[in-house]
A and B are shown apart, each in its own frame.
Chain A
Amino acid sequence: MLIESGSPVAADTRVEISLTINGEARTLQVAPWTTLLDLLRERLDLTGTKKGCDHGQCGACTVLVNGTRLNSCLALAVMKDGAEITTVEGLARMGGGNGLHPLQEAFVEHDAFQCGYCTPGQLCSAAGMLAEGHARTRDEIREAMSGNICRCGAYTNIVDAIEDVMQSGAQG
């Protein structure tokens, strides 16, 4: 699928890149200064990934790039040519089922969010953290999740949800 950038930037300054986003292969023409976050939100209507600060300080824009969690506001889209991107919209698919990813289910069950704006980033970050396999205890989960701010203060419930999924052995 070829998407024309809406940018008025002269066509010859745009760069063609290929990304697999939530399982779908896409060829995109992007300006070299477009961040992965703005590409997702402004061009591809994947607004599940949130912009909270645009400075890599809040974690709301966390996505998985080749399975590794990343602040998408700090990555230029052109740097990720060839990468496989998973956003919150694709998490369920990654979980293998048709319903929700185990983390998504656990977040609902444990009331691990209020306003919901940091939630996609928390979920992607948690999925990446589980795959990393370093965090074993609640303190380690807290440390490893500290790049994802929740201003509503749902932290204890988020840790409950992640711990629940970790203990059930479901993988991110």
Chain B
Amino acid sequence: MASSPETYFGTARSRVDGPAKVTGQAKYAGEFEAPDLAHGYVVSSAIARGAISRIDTAEAEAVPGVIKVFTHENRPRTAWLDYNYQDAVAPPGSPFRALYDEKIQFSGQPVALVVAEDFETARYAASLVKLAYAAEEPETDVTRVRDLSYTPPMKRAGIKPPPEPWGDADAAFDGAPVKVRHAYRHAIEYHNPMEPHASTVVWEGDGRLTVYDKIQGVSNSQGYLTGVFGLKKDEVRVLNPYLGGGFGSGLRPQYQLFLAVMAARELERSVRVTLTRDQMFSFTHRPDVLQTVSLGAGPDGTLQALRHDAVSGTSRYEDYQEVVVNWSAILYRCENVALTYKLAHLDLPTPGDMRAPGAVTGVFALEIAMDELAYATGQDPIALRLKNYSERDQTEGKPFGSKALRACYEQGAERFGWSQRSPEPRSMRDGKELVGWGMATGVWESLMQKSSAQATLTADGKLVVGNSTGDIGTGTYTILTQIAADALGLRMEDVTTKLGDTALAEAPVAGGSWTAASSGTAVMKACRTIANQLFTMARRMDHSPLANVDFDRVVFRDGRIAVADDPSRSVSLAEAMRAGGVDKLEATESAGPDSSHQKEFSAYTHSAIFAEVKIDEELGQVRVTRVVSAVAAGRVINPKTARSQILGGVVMGIGGALEEEGMLDHRLGRVMNHNLGEYHVPVHADIHDIDVIFVDEVDKANPMGVKGLGEIGIVGTMAAVANAVFHATGKRIRELPITVDKIIG
């Protein structure tokens, strides 16, 4: 087939799920109805470490309307081996099992599930469950266990450990004319999607279950349930058409799913369990990581030594891992490099992937250190980065498939007006406010996962495509509709995309910024298979206008198959199907990464972020008044939804820089600010102008040349803001968030 004309690819389109979302018709996991639905309410542990010594449910059970109270003493039997609890993205270890035994592993651990006829009764009865504990002293402070840190013995799938060192970083650092060595740290962050985690389990009457689960990929929940409960795949269908925000919190099946399914099977009845906002702080977070970055350089800023060492908190039961330190050697060229990444056990739930996991953490430290080096050597921050620009991925010894980072620096600086910056700290003002301009680099992996997709074309010219992955707000429904419409020359209005249902072709969780490349390519392939079938039927027609024409010489456009260089010769899709005697064409195809391309090239997205802050020094109040994010991420399918991805990443990055801080009371091992009033995330008043630039980039890692955009917007943003704060105030703040006390203090 000749390249199909791209009517929709690359054009700004409003979301196809927009009308459903603005009218309240889009239903989320905790909103599906079932006859005779019972409601579960979770009771959470008051201690962080120890054991339940007594649990008394009598009073709760006596409340009219309570159906049953589940605890570790009466829970139904489930699978025994850890293996059965390991979901598709689980780190190595022994996954948490709700209500498994009396042991308490973290504060907020579910210790009972009260199931009642209605929500309020369950909630009230939950307050009557009496617990006594044998408490032990918890350890939740990573600074106190740094010396006990260890290199994880088992690697987490898909997470590259730090490469072996090269050169002699320590000796080179010692001998370097200019040295920058500091510790960096950001607070524990919580994902806090607006939709609380929820599962509605519909008991279908014969042991089969239909489950609506808040998850970023329903296949992962289905696999987990078959492992844990010994169900067959065809006995449990999992759906989640809409996800009210995930940011990684919905990658793994969370404990409300286990509890709701356990209760439904035991009671032979439909059950819904929705977590409260404070319980949203009890199962995953971006970990607290202690980092030291050491940069040794010549007087002109050329790097001679680079060390990046990190110790990350994890739970006692799983070795959560993310890529924190490798980015330093991916971004900058240096002949003496040492990178280390270790873990330390804490009495907290296992951390989890949160938007650009690892990169947010590592690049924040590196990019502040680079700003410090720029000042130490009297260089412009962009000039310093260009001086150390890496043309190869040193960690893999490979060139980049594409890297338009220079253009990001240039175009971002131009749009921001960087040349007007006076480099001296405290040298720019706006009335009584100090003004600071800072910049940083962003980087994220460009990934593709094996993914399948299906397509069905009916004689009325309507096409349905889809797979089991989720649209987590990224715009997947819309871009897949664009891709499918282009592939068969249909109007977007004639294409319906279905997602988030295990009855559809299997696809991985939506994460890692891989969905556009993975599901997009699979949908395109499925549509091309249908195109091929249509073409075969059209060519076989009596007196076919396409007779003696090869497939690679036709185009699909306006509902017709036409000869590319002679559009007057064409057959409509309906005619082709009629001639072929079919009223429906179906295809399922899968697509995966191109392994030969992967062998040869490293694949990353890049960005340059510029931030302006205005600071009232007396009040210590920082406002991020302007951000320009210039992104190189291959081709952009839909500039409208793509821009929103970057905006969202930037906003969360501003939150990380100035606001987000999980505050632990280390004596109790407990999050103190487990609500949206005290765990601050950006609100309208915090967010001002954000400008997004997509830099042209040609990449050949996948047929569409797309790289993914869900994560790159946040990486580097925290550093750009922190660097702007330094420029404004002369204060170098290396612990985030930058709150009032740090500005005034």
Interface positions of A (Cβ within 8 A of B): 5-10, 31, 33-34, 38, 41-42, 45-55, 57-58, 60, 87-89, 91-92, 100, 104, 107-109, 111, 113-120, 123, 141-143, 145-159
A85 vs B65: C-alpha distance when bound (angstroms): 29
A38 vs B689: C-alpha distance when bound (angstroms): 37
> Is the pair A146, B195 in contact by a Cβ cutoff of 8 Å?
no
Q: How far is the CB of A59 from chain B (nearest CB, A)?
A: 9
> Is the pair B194, A143 in contact by a Cβ cutoff of 8 Å?
no
A142 vs B15: C-alpha distance when bound (angstroms): 24
* A7 in complex: contacting residue of B31, B33, B121, B195, CB < 8 Å: B121
> Is the pair A118, B194 in contact by a Cβ cutoff of 8 Å?
yes
Closest B residue to A99 using CB positions: B19
Asked if B554 lies at the interface with its beta carbon under 8 angstroms from chain A, I say no
> Is the pair B194, A151 in contact by a Cβ cutoff of 8 Å?
yes
What are the 7 closest A-B residue pairs judged by CB atoms, nearest first? A48-B24, A153-B651, A117-B244, A8-B65, A115-B473, A116-B21, A114-B473
Q: How far is the CB of B292 from chain A (nearest CB, A)?
A: 31
> Is the pair B24, A47 in contact by a Cβ cutoff of 8 Å?
yes
* B244 in complex: contacting residue of A7, A46, A115, A159, CB < 8 Å: A115
A123 vs B19: C-alpha distance when bound (angstroms): 13
A8 vs B21: C-alpha distance when bound (angstroms): 33
A157 vs B25: C-alpha distance when bound (angstroms): 21
> What string of 1s and 0s marks CB contacts (under 8 Å) between B236-280 and chain A?
000000111111000000000000000000000000001011000
> Is the pair B640, A7 in contact by a Cβ cutoff of 8 Å?
no
> Is the pair B641, A146 in contact by a Cβ cutoff of 8 Å?
no
Asked if B119 lies at the interface with its beta carbon under 8 angstroms from chain A, I say yes
* B472 in complex: contacting residue of A48, A92, A115, A149, CB < 8 Å: A115
> What string of 1s and 0s marks CB contacts (under 8 Å) between B6-47 and chain A?
000000001101111111111110010100000000000000
> Is the pair B244, A116 in contact by a Cβ cutoff of 8 Å?
yes
Given known contacts A50-B194, A104-B23, A153-B687, is B473 in contact with A111 (CB within 8 Å)? no
> Is the pair A111, B14 in contact by a Cβ cutoff of 8 Å?
yes
Complex A-B: 7 CB contacts under 8 Å: A38-B119, A48-B24, A57-B677, A114-B648, A116-B20, A142-B684, A155-B651
Residues of A with C-beta under 8 A to B243 = 115
Asked if B313 lies at the interface with its beta carbon under 8 angstroms from chain A, I say no
> Is the pair A111, B641 in contact by a Cβ cutoff of 8 Å?
yes
* B277 in complex: contacting residue of A55, A89, A116, A142, CB < 8 Å: A55
Q: How far is the CB of A166 from chain B (nearest CB, A)?
A: 15
A60 vs B116: C-alpha distance when bound (angstroms): 26
Given known contacts A8-B64, A111-B641, A141-B684, is B23 in contact with A34 (CB within 8 Å)? no
Asked if B362 lies at the interface with its beta carbon under 8 angstroms from chain A, I say no
Given known contacts A88-B23, A89-B23, is B195 in contact with A52 (CB within 8 Å)? yes
Given known contacts A123-B22, A143-B684, A152-B648, is B31 in contact with A41 (CB within 8 Å)? yes
Main secondary structure of the interface of A (DSSP, over half): loop
Asked if B676 lies at the interface with its beta carbon under 8 angstroms from chain A, I say yes
Residues of A with C-beta under 8 A to B675 = 53, 55, 57
Known contacts A115-B243, A149-B683, A156-B687, then 11 further A-B pairs from the complex at CB < 8 Å, ordered by chain A residue:
A7-B65, A7-B121, A8-B65, A8-B117, A9-B64, A52-B194, A55-B675, A87-B24, A153-B650, A153-B687, A157-B647
Residues of B with C-beta under 8 A to A114 = 245, 473-475, 644-645, 648
Q: How far is the CB of A72 from chain B (nearest CB, A)?
A: 13
* B24 in complex: contacting residue of A53, A120, A154, CB < 8 Å: A120
Given known contacts A54-B276, A100-B22, A116-B242, is B118 in contact with A7 (CB within 8 Å)? yes
> Is the pair B644, A154 in contact by a Cβ cutoff of 8 Å?
yes
Residues of A with C-beta under 8 A to B33 = 45
Asked if B484 lies at the interface with its beta carbon under 8 angstroms from chain A, I say no
CB interface residues, B 662-721, toward A, < 8 Å: 675-677, 681-685, 687, 689-690
Q: How far is the CB of B354 from chain A (nearest CB, A)?
A: 12
A150 vs B651: C-alpha distance when bound (angstroms): 10
Closest A residue to B14 using CB positions: A108
Asked if B162 lies at the interface with its beta carbon under 8 angstroms from chain A, I say no
A155 vs B654: C-alpha distance when bound (angstroms): 13
Q: How far is the CB of B713 from chain A (nearest CB, A)?
A: 9
For B276, B648, B650, the residue with the greatest tally of chain A CB atoms inside 10 Å of its CB is B648
Residues of A with C-beta under 8 A to B21 = 113, 116, 119
Asked if B196 lies at the interface with its beta carbon under 8 angstroms from chain A, I say yes
A69 vs B322: C-alpha distance when bound (angstroms): 43
* A151 in complex: contacting residue of B23, B117, B119, B193, CB < 8 Å: B193
A157 vs B277: C-alpha distance when bound (angstroms): 26
> Is the pair A47, B23 in contact by a Cβ cutoff of 8 Å?
no
* A88 in complex: contacting residue of B22, B193, B473, B648, CB < 8 Å: B22
Closest B residue to A123 using CB positions: B22
A57 vs B650: C-alpha distance when bound (angstroms): 22
* A50 in complex: contacting residue of B195, B472, B473, CB < 8 Å: B195
Asked if B643 lies at the interface with its beta carbon under 8 angstroms from chain A, I say yes
For A33, A38, A48, A145, the residue with the greatest tally of chain B CB atoms inside 10 Å of its CB is A48
Asked if B649 lies at the interface with its beta carbon under 8 angstroms from chain A, I say yes
Asked if B192 lies at the interface with its beta carbon under 8 angstroms from chain A, I say yes
Asked if B120 lies at the interface with its beta carbon under 8 angstroms from chain A, I say yes
Residues of A with C-beta under 8 A to B652 = 151, 153
